[in-house]
Amino acid sequence: MRHLIWFRTDLRVADNPALFEAAIEGAELSAVFIASPGQWRQHGMADIQRDFLARNLAALSSELSALGIPFTLLEADTFVEVPELLGRLVAERGIDALYANQEIGVNERRRDRAVQQTLSIPVRVYNGDCVVAHGSLAPRSGDMYKVFTPYAKAWLARVRAEGYRLLPAPRAQGQALAVAPVSLPDGQVSSEAWLAGERAAHRQLAVFCHERLREYGERRDYPDAEGTSRLSPYLALGVLSPNQCLAAVEAELGCLPLSRGEPGFSWVNELIWREFYRHLLVVYPRLSMHQPFKAETRALKWSNNQLSFDLWCRGRTGYPLVDAAMRCLNETGWMHNRLRMIVASFLTKDLHIDWRRGEDYFMSRLIDGELAANNGGWQWAAGTGADAAPYFRVFNPTTQSERFDAEGRFIKRWLPELAEVPVSAIHAPHEWLTRHGMAQAYPPPVVDHARARRHAIAMFDDLKDRQEAP
């Protein structure tokens, strides 16, 4: 028998359910990846992530070649063209079954249904992106959990009872092959600051677990500290699986921390958040279509101030930590998680700009762009999502700066125009700059936070009042 493995956002050979199942029957294996540059543009995929994708595909091609599995890179500009393209490949190679791991976006699911309807061979799809399979956790009502805490309790109970399944890479099916070259279309931004491939991802995971896992809960909120894992780009492309993350944690600590307060639990909890957002996306496809989780928040009256949005994008709002975070994103394609919450709160609650504009901008810049996590984070900040921040929770950008970048080291790294500002003034520098004749060096605050906060709360209060009216 001949089996075809269709790689998508699962660019690894170990702990890959589709590859494992295809190989376990002893079939002759071949692999394909279908580049879809037009679809990627529609989805707003960042240039830097596309470059990272290309480099990880090259690493995957090398790994598959070493296993004797031929790898083919094809191109279909959009998903509409994929079924016919796969049909031709299946016919040319005499393929008996197609294997793939599930993708959860609504366009991806429509593509996969079209493929299943087009091909005359079995199409077998597996859970390759979550520890706990989509749809397998639900309260007694039968609906999906809409609040994180009970979902997390159910997730932890499942893992305590059943553990997690870690699959080996398949055995080589013959002699090593010449490595198939990988080249993706469109102009790209270099991702060379991030090492590519499974081996690099596992080295990064091992270093994090050994050096920073135990202190993650205490250090993760400080952008100038090396406190986070920086593994999200690998998880977004499936170069690394969440099962492999749990296995590395367990190997480092000698046990898997599944209770709050245990060393390492804070990071495991972040993996649970990731799965919560992915499960929501499966159950509520509208989240893939720029719709709020809370339907009533469609009526919120967002601002259309283009100048304010541009200042936020460029890091010129006059709030140093917000601006440093945005400039870091624009230059590196990555942003610390605490900073993501701060800048998202600022855009939606201080500038009152629609969260969807921020979601799109992030996707256009992030090396770790992932629909479920990005959407979930933005809707949490905006107060429109499942288990969102209460609408009256509005991050104060100045006090957040004072708390999490007290010495201003992160700020000064990304805002060189503030190099001479003392620590005592770094979080609100405009008055100091004015006194010293340097007011032109850095813009004044684009909004007054206290006034903006009151307006944000009034937006939601007005929404609530209209809902409660007879």
Active-site residues: which are they? Answer: 270, 273, 302, 337, 355, 378
User: CA–CA distance from 28 to each of 22, 92, 419, 461 (Å)?
Assistant: 9, 15, 62, 62
Distance (Å, rounded) from C-alpha 50 to C-alpha 66?
25
**Segments in 354-448 forming alpha helices (H):** 355-363, 371-382, 397-404, 409-414, 430-435
- Burial of 115 (C-beta count, 10 Å sphere; 0-12/13-18/19+): buried
Q: Count Cα neighbours of 434 within 13 Å in the Cβ-side half-sphere.
A: 7
CA 111-117-121 angle, 5° bins: 110
- Angle between helix 47-66 and 198-211 (nearest 10): 110
Q: Is 152 helix (H, G, I), strand (E, B) or coil?
A: helix
Residue written as token pair 């509520």: 284
Q: Which residue is it, tokens 């075809």?
A: 4
Long-range contacts of 435-443 (CB under 8 A, 24+ apart): 441/417, 442/318, 442/320, 442/415, 442/417, 442/418, 443/311, 443/316, 443/317, 443/318
Which residue type sits at 425? A
What does the DSSP 8-state code read for residue 416? Answer: G
Amino acid at 141: S
- Parallel/antiparallel/unpaired status of strands 28-35 and 2-7: parallel
Decide: 53 and 234 in contact? Cβ < 8 Å: no
The token pair at 445 is: 């605050």
CA angle 263–268–270, rounded 5-degree value: 125
